[in-house]
Amino acid sequence: MKPRVYIANAFCHQGKGGNGAGVVLAAGGIDRKQKLHIAQRVGLSETVFVSDSPLADFRLEYFTPVDEVDLCGHATIATFVLLHQQGLQAGCYTIDTRSGRLQVSVSADGKVWMQQCCPVFHEFYCFEDFRDCFPDLQPHPVLPIQAVSTGLKDIMFPVGSVDELDALKPNFDVMAQLNHRQGVVGIHAFALIGGDTPVAVCRNFAPRYGIPEESATGTSNCALAGYLFKHFSQSTHYSFLQGLTMGIPSAIEVRMQVEDSSIIQIEVGGVGQVMQVDDFLNYSGI
């Protein structure tokens, strides 16, 4: 049987927007080359392949149009949005990924929370390293540029205002080469907008993996929450908006458990919807 690819959006904002992912269920018989071919044909930032696992309730594998990646937050949320629509009951489930065994919980109203690895803090960078990526941008006066990972290593890149963030016109060729040398997936640029709960507007760039800009990213925003906890304000709940400049508004929430000022558990959450496409894609050449 040819694999059927569902398209589901994750991190929708007020019933709109979000980030689409391809989801292939019962993918145990598809090899790596075929998965990459399907991801290329789907053409979205990530396509996730779901199969059985002896270690967890589900095995999830994530492919961009260019390569396999260890983890993808929005594709995981999209998967469980689809599974819930197909009858998966509310509750807690485990997933087996290249980033390890993680937990996903589904509420009765369909909201999905995905556990991620606790933040790991990597290199700091000088603003001048990015001058050719972001011409005319000025450095943030206080916050540092640092790579952080909760499953995927991204560079947290603070921008002074939302207007400056909106005006960014990255040089993607330069950025892709730079990120390759840095050994990171991409750059997660953000501007704080205040509020009782620290809130930021974000833009995510990953041209190294064939993704110039993405409208919602779970792993990057989990990393951003860890970064803000360390460098800005220690909260247990963060809310982020993304995709605004793309016309695809997305809402991402991060919650965490903290002991002695240390993060011991972190989850990213949001709502989604399965795209109502009459003729889901079936692929030849598999």
pLDDT digits (tens, 9 = 90+) for 36-61: 999 999 999 899 999 999 999 999 99
Q: Nearest Cα to 65, choosing from 41, 88, 48, 49?
A: 41
All residues at 6 or more sequence positions from 146 whose CB lies less than 8 Å from its CB, including other chains: 121, 122, 123, 124, 125, 155, 156, 227, 231
Asked if residue 46 lies in contact with residue 217, where contact means CB atoms within 8 angstroms, the answer is no
H helices present in 127-207, as ranges: 162-167, 172-182
C-alpha to C-alpha distance for 155 and 123, rounded to whole angstroms: 9
**pLDDT for position 286:** 46
**pLDDT for position 76:** 94
Asked if residue 119 lies in contact with residue 226, where contact means CB atoms within 8 angstroms, the answer is yes
Tens-level pLDDT at each residue, the chain (286 residues): 567 889 999 999 988 889 999 999 999 999 999 999 999 999 998 999 999 999 999 999 999 999 999 989 999 999 999 999 999 999 999 999 998 999 999 998 889 999 999 999 999 999 999 999 999 899 999 999 999 999 899 999 999 999 999 999 999 999 999 999 999 999 999 999 976 666 999 999 999 998 899 999 999 999 999 999 999 999 999 999 999 999 999 999 999 999 999 999 999 999 999 874 433 445 444 4
C-alpha to C-alpha distance for 6 and 128, rounded to whole angstroms: 42
Structure tokens at 33: 């080359």
**pLDDT for position 283:** 45
**pLDDT for position 196:** 64
**What's the pTM?**
0.86
**pLDDT for position 198:** 63
**pLDDT for position 197:** 66
Asked if residue 235 lies in contact with residue 197, where contact means CB atoms within 8 angstroms, the answer is yes
The amino acid sitting at 241 is: L
